[in-house]
Amino acid sequence: MFREHSDSIKQAAVAAFRKREFSVRKTAQLFQIGVQTLYRWNAEALALEQDQHQTQQAQQAQQAAAARLKEGRCPILNQQEQQVVAQVVQQTGRVDTSQIVAAVQETRAIDAPAIQISRRTVYRYLRKNNITYKKAHFRIKKTDPSKLAAFWQQMRLMDAEQQAKNIISFNESSFGTHMTPTYGWSKFQQQEINNSGF
């Protein structure tokens, strides 16, 4: 008949089994269980410990991966720094990332001097807010769908015309008389091709 044992008894039996103070049979008699039961409890405890260890390693790997992702992210400019960027662009009349970095770093030196800002951070901010290098002021990029469609239609037509010009037609009789078996085209055939404008 199967008898249910509490977890505390199982843990105590496995601990005594692992200490090896007594023989396996004596340890089993001490806890009033069979030898095979003691071996089974030990195997179950080992499997549980391995599962816990693997879960812990997986959690550590996930935390390390999350930490690596966070390290690569650029700091976001706060409201005051965004205003500094706008002022520098409007005053200088052009988008110069090195000047913007210097100006933002001056404002940041008061609040957090240890935190440095990079040109890449400024560039990402400018790109995110659609500030381009072409004009001396803030310019938001707006694409007109009709102009874009017309542009691509024109490009397709130009491509089709170019392909039509490059179509080459050869006369089948010229292949038989002017091919040499070892070197390919003869000099006569090359002169014909050069004269035809290809």
CA dist 116 and 155 (Å) reads: 46
- Residue 148: band (very low, low, confident or very high) from pLDDT cuts 50, 70, 90: low
Domain-wise residue ranges, the chain: 7-71, 74-164
pLDDT value at 125 more than 50 = yes
pTM for the complete prediction? 0.35
Chain segment 39-85, per-residue pLDDT in tens: 999 999 999 999 999 999 999 988 888 777 665 555 577 788 888 88
pLDDT value at 149 more than 90 = no
**What are the structure tokens assigned to 158, written together?**
């130009």
The alpha-helical segments, DSSP class H, found in 6-78 are 7-19, 24-30, 35-72
List all residues 6 or more positions away from 133 whose beta carbon is below 8 Å from its beta carbon: 94, 95
**What are the structure tokens assigned to 99, written together?**
């000047």
* pLDDT confidence of residue 4: 78
pLDDT value at 34 more than 80 = yes
CA dist 34 and 161 (Å) reads: 91
- Residue 142: band (very low, low, confident or very high) from pLDDT cuts 50, 70, 90: low
Torsion of Cα atoms, 141 then 145 then 147 then 149, to 10° = 130
| DSSP-assigned states of every residue in 95-117 | --HHHHHHHHHHHHHHH-TT---
